[in-house]
Structure 1
Amino acid sequence: MTSAPSVRLSGPDLPQTLLIDGRAPVPLPRGFHVAAVEPQGNGVRLDSVDGRSMAATPGQLAVFSRLLSAGVDDAHDSKAEAEFLDRPFRPGPDTLIPELLAPIEDPVFGPLTVQPPSAFGSTIEIEDARPLAPAVPATDHGFSFEFGSVSRDRLADLLPPARLMLSNLASIRTRAAEFVWQQGRDEDRAGTTWEAFDSALVLMGVVVYHSGDFGIELHDVTGQCFGDGYWPHRLLRRRHPSRMGGPGMNDGVGRTGLEPVTGGL
């Protein structure tokens, strides 16, 4: 019988990481300051200095999860902690508990089953979501719609606002293109009209994060609008601070909430 990988703590001081045999180090959220790591079942129990505990397997702990970076989101630490504390409730390569894999039937997305997170941190991916939003300009292969690393319960929280966002996706794409147009213009492209630029940018993908933020990926069908990796491909939306405690997402793209990421993906 194969024993579970060893899980160790980097040290007592913040910032901390978990060191798991055969896996990349796992950053721990600052809000969950770990005092001890103890074996429990086929995994470990993490005891925090404030008296809280969580138990998970190495496969549940060692996942990649996308969040807005701390540089653009002042609520990053609390979101990172909420995401981390959700990990014991997700399936993993070493944890395929039937309750965690039970599908959710959604009136718009259809049946959805949370899978162990992929290398890119997705637990659900709809490869071609064009039938869900046929009015949105997309690539010849359509556009993907993904949910990041989430548990079944968290997915249930995110589905209603995700449906709302989906219903407004055409205007979100337009407003995102406007943001890129305003932020990325330079004199070399002064002759490009807004109409030509807008028609060149089609939707390639949407990702809903555990936090309720979401990102969209735009594709330039002409190959001329994004020069040498300097124009943003992905735009991220931060929820309004007044709604940070809830499960919802804003249904639009606000300029102050976007984080442009330059270069290819």
Structure 2
Amino acid sequence: MGSGSDGGQEAVLAVVGSAGGGVLSLLTLPRSFLVEHIGHDATHLTFRAHDGRTVRATPGQLRVHVRLLPPEHNPLYETQLTEAFLATRLLPESGWSPERTPPVRDAVLGTIAFDEKAAGYETDVVFGDESVWVSFDGCGAARTAELVPHVRRLMESFAAIEESGREFLWASGADGTESAEEKDRLLDELKPHSLVVYRSGDFEVHYDDTSGIFCMEGYWPVVQYRADRTPVSMSVGA
């Protein structure tokens, strides 16, 4: 345990295999959960806060990186970080039985199934003449079901959402010397292929860049949005 560069709490989790070697993971802990003690047994670690709250989870659950919009774009960052940390014990793991990862069914989104390899819930949703792969980050069955109405509304407005994301990408890279024809041509080369919904309700859209101008081969642009559909940042997927 120690203090992070921003004054928050950080911990290093070391998982050592029986034959040697292992995995190191850096954990960011919420400021509101002031850790007083960390204990463990054969399968779980337990974090106890100064106010008596506890979080008990497996090393695999603690290593899950739950996506959040970064603090500079997210006034609710600490609240969301706290909620995600307290829910760590609910994060599904590969190897869970089907009884612990039941499918979530919806009339619009279809069957949202647990993918053991990805250790998350996913589904394919028809969008116009195309389909969009929808995944739920850091969510078990219960949280996925809670997010279904929100995702349904996102899909109903997906044309406007993905268009605002393409405009955001353009504004992030344009220098003002490009023609309107250039802009139209390049934006037409960006095609949305997946939607990743965070457990907070914020989300990101991944685009195929068929022009090869925004990203090199093997990479693609990603736009992050607040839950209210405002694009706030971009990154590159690989």
TM range (shorter): 0.7 to 0.9
Counterpart CA distance in 1 for 2:53 and 2:41 is: 15
Match in the other structure for 2:233: 259
Matches within 5 A, 1:75-114: 75-93=76-94, 96=96, 99-114=99-114
The AA in structure 2 aligned to 1:217 is H
Letter in 1 for 2:233: E
Within a 5 Å distance, the mapping from 1:161-172 to structure 2 comes to 161-172=150-161
Q: Which amino acid aligns with 2:196?
A: V
* Offset at residue 115 of structure 1 (A): 4.8
Structure 1: how far apart are the matches of 2:42 and 2:188?
A: 56
Q: TM-score, normalised by structure 2?
A: 0.81
* Residue identity opposite 2:168 in structure 1: F
Moved more, 23-32 or 165-174: 23-32
Q: Deviations over 1:182-208 (max 9, x none)?
A: 332125633644432332211122110
Identity between Structure 1 and Structure 2 (%): 25
Tell me the alpha carbon deviations over residues 31-72 of structure 1, each in whole angstroms, 9 at most, x when there is no partner: 222111223563122111121112111222121221111221
Aligned CA distance change for structure 1 residues 88 and 264 (closer, same or farther; 3 Å):
closer
Residue 63 (structure 2) aligns with: 62
Letter of the aligned partner of 1:106 in structure 2? D
Given that residues 205 and 216 in structure 1 are in contact (C-alpha distance below 8 angstroms), is that contact kept between their aligned partners in structure 2? yes
Contact 1:90 1:116 in 2 (8 A): no
- Is the Cα–Cα contact under 8 Å of residues 38 and 44 in structure 1 kept in the other structure? yes
Q: Which residue of 1 aligns with 2:200?
A: 211
Deviations 1:151-194 (A, max 9, x none): 22211111111011011111211122222233321256336444
* Residue pairs, 1:227-238, within 5 angstroms: 233-238=221-226
| Distance in 2 separating the partners of 1:150 and 1:72 | 22
Q: How many residues align?
A: 227
In structure 1, how many angstroms separate the alpha carbons of the residues matched to 2:237 and 2:97?
A: 37
Q: Equivalent of 2:122, from 116, 120, 125?
A: 125
CA distance in 2, matches of 1:152, 1:49: 30
TM-score, length basis structure 1: 0.74
Separation in 2, partners of 1:166, 1:18: 38
Structure 2 unaligned spans of 5+: 16-21
Q: Which AA in structure 2 matches 1:174? A: E
On the 8 A contact 2:46/2:54 being kept in 1, the answer is: yes
Shift of 1:111: 2.4
What corresponds to 2:18 in structure 1?
A: none
Equivalent runs, 1:1-265 vs 2, <5 Å: 10-11=1-2, 14-21=8-15, 22-23=22-23, 24-40=25-41, 42-93=43-94, 96=96, 99-115=99-115, 118=118, 123-126=120-123, 129=124, 131-135=125-129, 143-187=132-176, 189-190=178-179, 192-224=181-213, 226=214, 233-239=221-227, 250=228, 253-254=229-230, 257-261=231-235, 263=236, 265=238
**Which residue identity lines up with residue 232 of structure 2 in the other structure?**
L
Query: Cα deviation per residue 1:64-105 (whole Å; 9 max; x = unaligned)?
Result: 2211112211211111111122121122247x2555312222
- Considering Cα pairs closer than 8 Å and 6+ residues apart, tell me whether 1 or 2 has the greater RCO: 1
Contact 2:192 2:205 in 1 (8 A): yes
Indicate the SS of the match to 2:72: coil
